[in-house]
Copies of this chain bind each other. A is one copy, B any other.
């Protein structure tokens, strides 16, 4: 069965598989002290144009969000996020488990506006009673968002400014960072992301790796004893090479962005073809996740041939569904999917 269910359906990019094979019997020390990890960090620093960045590799997205947020917040602080943000909805309370409240603000197409964040902060400090409230200690956004949408450089610059004004870090969840940067609509680069955020992560799991996210502290702001912190959270990999090799490969010859561009190109074909067939978009996503409104009958028929994500109810007769492409999606996959979709 064909799957557009998500962007982590296949294994690993073949180039990484080759590197695993080529390096397999090399003996390395553990816990991220291996040479592959060192090399990968160097290459990422180069790609983002920030020599003073410090980098750590973690295994998965929820783990990364939990660790980054918990390491930068003090106990009495919470993290501001869009109400549609991943940490607000689909991480099973991982942030609260670490003791911190997620302070939600209504999203606009998955995005937080600088104005809404500024208003939240201003209102908080104006409240005479705010010592009895959770201090907003950080802003979390995802790029691209959970709805595939992108912040413009102007929007991100404004958000960054608000955070600077209130002296709280801006954290960018880049689980799908490549699919954002590689979008034709993106006006942001790796260097912009690094410059405008205090910490961000470069998602590997969804972009060619078996697992792995690269956390980047951009402002010489890595928390003290961060390795011990990671260990304490149960997230320090004994065979750090698993992550090192993958990111070293992804950041060799621009592989990360190249395969991201491919995924987005496939998504654009999918989008245009579906529009041409008469399917209404739920929102206009410029990245690898495409949200369409399908009649429930169409959906039911399609489900016997293709896996996809049922996102939410739209009305009595329609649902919002998501089709995700990835580095592994082929033009044949797209053609096969479209063949199952009748014109409306």
**Which residues of A line the B interface, CB within 8 A?**
1-3, 5-6, 8-12, 14, 17, 20-21, 23-31, 59-67, 70-71, 74-76, 78, 89-94, 96-97, 99-102, 128-129, 131-135, 205-206, 210-211, 224-225, 227-229, 231-239, 241-242, 307, 310, 328
Complex interface: chain B residues within 8 A of A228 (CB): 76, 92, 131-133, 135
Tallying the copies of this chain within the complex gives 4
Task: Report the bound CA distance from A100 to B242 in whole Å.
Answer: 31
- 11 contacts across the A-B interface (CB closer than 8 A): A17-B24, A59-B211, A60-B236, A61-B238, A67-B234, A78-B93, A92-B133, A93-B100, A96-B100, A97-B233, A132-B228
The closest CB in chain B to the CB of A234 belongs to B63
- Whole-angstrom distance from the CB of A11 to the nearest CB of chain B? 4
Complex interface: chain B residues within 8 A of A63 (CB): 234-235
Task: Report the bound CA distance from A235 to B233 in whole Å.
Answer: 10
Task: Report the bound CA distance from A206 to B235 in whole Å.
Answer: 16
Contact between chains at A60 and B135 (CB < 8 Å) = no
Query: Which one of B12, B94, B211 lies within 8 Å of A24 (CB-CB)?
Result: B12
Contact between chains at B206 and A90 (CB < 8 Å) = no
Q: Which 4 residue pairs of A and B lie closest in terms of their CB atoms, listed nearest first?
A: A63-B234, A11-B24, A92-B231, A93-B134
Of the candidates A25, A63, A239, the one having the most CB atoms from chain B within 10 angstroms of its own CB is A239
Task: Report the bound CA distance from A9 to B135 in whole Å.
Answer: 27
Complex interface: chain B residues within 8 A of A227 (CB): 131
Complex interface: chain B residues within 8 A of A29 (CB): 3, 5, 9, 307
Query: Which one of B8, B65, B92 lies within 8 Å of A76 (CB-CB)?
Result: B92
- Whole-angstrom distance from the CB of A98 to the nearest CB of chain B? 8
Complex interface: chain B residues within 8 A of A28 (CB): 9
